[in-house]
Amino acid sequence: MHVLVINGPNLNLLGTREPDIYGSTTLSELEELIAVWGSERDIEVSCYQSNHEGELIDRLHGARGVHDGLVINAGALTHYSYALHDAIVATELPAVEVHISNIRHREPWRRTSVIEPACVYSVFGRGIEGYRYALDHLVNRAAMPFHTYAYGPGDDQIADLRIPEGPGPHPVAVVIHGGFWRDHWLRDATDALAIDLARRGWASWNLEYHRVGSGGGWPATLEDVATGIDYLAAAGADHPLDLERVVAVGHSAGGHLALWSAVRPHLSDGIPDPTTQVQVTGVVALAAVSDLQAGYSGGIGNNAVEDFLRRSPAQGSERYAAADPIQLLPLGIPQVVVHGVQDEAVPVEMSRSYVAAATEAGDPVTYEELPDSGHMELIDPRDQAWLRAATLLETLV
């Protein structure tokens, strides 16, 4: 794969221009990192930067038939250059838009991207690491075909379905990404996991949902997860899915959502919803935020729990009761819980206390602690942490 990485106006000033927003990495240092990231992914990378719209357009024209994908940070041209939009379309290449800062949380004029419709994906708010995630998305996009379904009218109410080889019907893995429920983390974080699951014989349903900062949080995020899982019934009309074997696989905040999805109580009264169309039959919780009250008390994710529920436990005990997996026990289905001892994002003690409570409540739980693993290794298909979790997953069917 040969990828062209384009940086637009003012990005030559990286490292000195507003470092509180854009960081201290210079453009030359960034390009060196991109070359390393590309090499690790077997990608040949070409980098180009210009402050002039016409030069960027000419460079895009030259990419036709030469490159296999684009990564573009158009700078301020993002917000008004329809000419750049048209040039991206003209390349006929998959393009990923990147922004170092979270443009959704900045000045109103920065929140509109006229080039986004020309791109297959957008990555924002992850600092310079966003370029690495953009390369990952291009690799994963090319690795296996998928079908994108809209389970609701919102831009974030979508899921990607990947179907394994063979006639089926295939058991389903509902993949739920983490990111402390915040909007700059999207389902690309679990693309590789979804691909690996499909290669293992699972139909993977990589679920997107509204997140804090983009219309999510209480109760929209939970409602999206419930609706997105139920939409498998519609997707099953197109593909051979075994809806009697549906395992939710969630990481971090996605682990919270996976555990919650097993019960899916009405958010007004905490009573399980009898209209559920697709029942989760097992859960794999990877470094899950499984105890919201403990997460609130510990301030995990820079006070992510309070941002998600918009309440402290004292202010909104009913929200915690309806959303907190440890308060919803027993879930009544088998669970696999995996956590790295070196995890600095979600402390391993949370899984320990959750497993103890689930076991006492009578739920069948398999628990594995990985002494040398941290947080992100659990969703890296190349890492032994995920390989162990994948092995345990097979015990649920």
Which amino acids are annotated catalytic?
Answer: 22, 99
Dihedral sign for Cα 322, 324, 330, 336, please: positive
Tell me how far apart the alpha carbons of residues 82 and 67 are, in angstroms, rounded to a whole number. 22
Q: Rounded to whole angstroms, what are the CA distances from 33 to 27, 28, 98, 175, 333?
A: 10, 9, 15, 29, 44
H or E, element range at 204: strand 203-207
CA 71 to chain centre: 19
| Residues contacting 339, CB < 8 A, separation 6+ | 286, 287, 288, 346, 348, 350, 351, 352, 368, 369, 370
Q: Give the strands of the sheet with 282-286, arranged side by side.
A: 147-150, 158-162, 203-207, 170-176, 241-251, 282-286, 335-340, 365-370
Token digits of residue 266 = 């009405």
Q: What are the DSSP calls for 263-302, one per residue?
A: T-B-TTT--B-TT-SS---EEEEES----HHHHHHHTHHH
Phi, psi of 336 (to 5 degrees): -115, 125
Q: Rounded to whole angstroms, what are the CA distances from 263 to 222, 276, 392?
A: 11, 10, 22
**In contact, 208 and 181? CB cutoff 8 Å:** no
Phi, psi of 393 (to 5 degrees): -55, -40
| Residues contacting 252, CB < 8 A, separation 6+ | 178, 179, 180, 286, 287, 288, 289, 345, 346, 375
Length of the chain: 397
**In contact, 379 and 190? CB cutoff 8 Å:** yes
Tell me how far apart the alpha carbons of residues 154 and 168 are, in angstroms, rounded to a whole number. 31
Token digits of residue 49 = 């930067």
